Amino acid sequence: MECVRVVLTVFLASIVAALAMEAQESPDRVVSLLTQDPAVKAALAAAKASESQTIETQVRLTEIPAPSFKETARAEEMKRLFQQAGLRNVRGDKAGNVVGDRPGMALHPHVVVAAHLDTVFPEGTNVRVRREGAVLHAPGIGDDSRGLAVLLAIARVLNQANVQTPGSITFVADVGEEGLGDLRGIKAIFDETLKGAVDRFVTIDGDGMGLSHTFVGSRRYRVTFKGPGGHSFADFGTPSPIGALGRAIDKIQELQVPPNSRSTFNVGRIGGGTSVNSIPVDAWMEVDLRSDDRSALAALDGQLQKTLDAALAAEHTRWHQLSVLTMTKELVGDRPVGAAPANSVVVETAFAATRAVGVSPAVSVSSSDANYPTSLRIPSVHIGGGGEGSGIHTPSESFDTTDSWRGTQRALLLTIALAQK
């Protein structure tokens, strides 16, 4: 019985693929044919029926702390869950990503589906999930425990329903997506672990039924001012790193963003100093610049550099001194701007899969793991994992599970559709 089922499934999947190839079927048609395939139908039904299990997994993963650079415990759990979901060759790579394969009838098209392991919350944050009816409250519950849970659900139901795909699927739970992680996990996937092997990329990141194919780039700096410091009374007149930092922040807040683009700047963190009665020996800040336009981002970066140099000079001038302070600008984040064309197969398929689960697709611009493969010209799309989140990146983050199964189904259908020839 089992064998007959497999053969039948293979047969049907081949028909879908053949039809698509022959007539240059539109992604809509491919998706609609897939929804008539018995195995795919069974997988979609299983995704809906087991949504409560998906939500339980989401809760469990949220309660394993995973600040960027400290994802190991959550990665270990994902490794175990990848194996349990029936993925093959489950392994960790050098960067700390967890990778598992689901071979198809051929190697290509090779689809990578990913969700990130890390959160923006520091060690020691209370990550216990509190439930209030259909709503779950905890830092990281949506971003990106939701993506990880959906990733696992896809692997699980593909196996349960014995779906065979023409192309192969690799599942990735990656490190370092957030903040200063600087996409280090996904960069390692495309530069080393799966270098040259990937045809299409999907990241399931956060909540909702939106999708993005335009990716905002960013440049992030950690700027540090240093000086000799001293006693606040005895050494009065010594240029101050905090003085220079304050001047820099004042000037940054006055920057004008380039027109005809969506560009932003933010001083996100500051620190420094020793005590109220010491001239500080150091002061630092972290600055984030973003834009959906490559040249606008470069222009904004140019403005920032000038601003920083001027702030340092102004602090020296104020105290009639030269070269007492030093300034270092460390580039701690560099996400390339990228976009997959709206009429590309991945994007059209993502639209079709969204409509197929009864939702009209909303497009937004985002910044995610998809930035990197897009900049390498690998067609990529970012989708939400369903449900409805609020308070993202804050300790009061929540996730409303109402109808969240649609997100699981959409991600599943998109994955299967992209693994067609």
Residues near Zn ion, by CB under 5 A: 143-144, 205
Q: How far is the CB of 335 from Zn ion (least distance, A)?
A: 13
d(CA 30, CA 352): 9
Q: Work out the number of other CB atoms within 10 angstroms of the CB of residue 251.
A: 17
3-state helix, strand, coil in the chain (%, to 5): 40, 25, 35
Q: How far is the CB of 393 from Zn ion (least distance, A)?
A: 9
Residue 226 and residue 315: Cα distance in Å, rounded?
12
Nearest to 177 by CA among 152, 210, 222, 140: 140
CA–CA gap between residue 408 and residue 383 (Å, rounded): 11
Query: Residue 252 — φ and ψ, nearest 5°?
Result: -60, -40
Residue with Cβ nearer Zn ion (35 or 366):
366
Nearer to Zn ion, 235 or 334 (CB): 334
Strand partners, 269: 286
Nearest approach in angstroms of CB 206 to Zn ion is 5
Nearer to Zn ion, 51 or 143 (CB): 143
Residues 6+ apart with CB under 8 A from 417: 27, 30, 31, 34, 349, 352, 353
Q: Can you tell me the distance from the alpha carbon of 117 to that of 11, in angstroms, rounded to the nearest whole number? A: 36
Tokens of 88: 């093959």
β-pair partners for 168: 110
Q: Give the shortest CB-129-to-Zn ion separation in angstroms.
A: 17
Q: How far is CA 145 from CA 151, 204, 292, 400, in A?
A: 10, 10, 26, 13
Least distance in Å: CB of 134 to Zn ion? 22
**Chain centroid to CA 358:** 25
CB of 115 to Zn ion, least distance (A): 8
Q: Which of 66/347 has CB closer to Zn ion?
A: 66
The CB-of-143 to Zn ion minimum distance in angstroms stands at 4
Residues 6 or more apart in contact with residue 330 via CB below 8 angstroms = 221, 222, 223, 224
Closer to Zn ion by Cβ: residue 148 or 169 = 148
Which of residues 258 and 373 has its CB atom nearest to Zn ion in the complex? 373
- C-alpha closest to that of 408 among 357, 351, 361: 357
- The residue among 51 and 144 lying less far from Zn ion, judged by its C-beta, is 144
- Report the nearest approach of Zn ion to the CB of residue 390 (Å): 14
Residue with Cβ nearer Zn ion (164 or 380) = 380
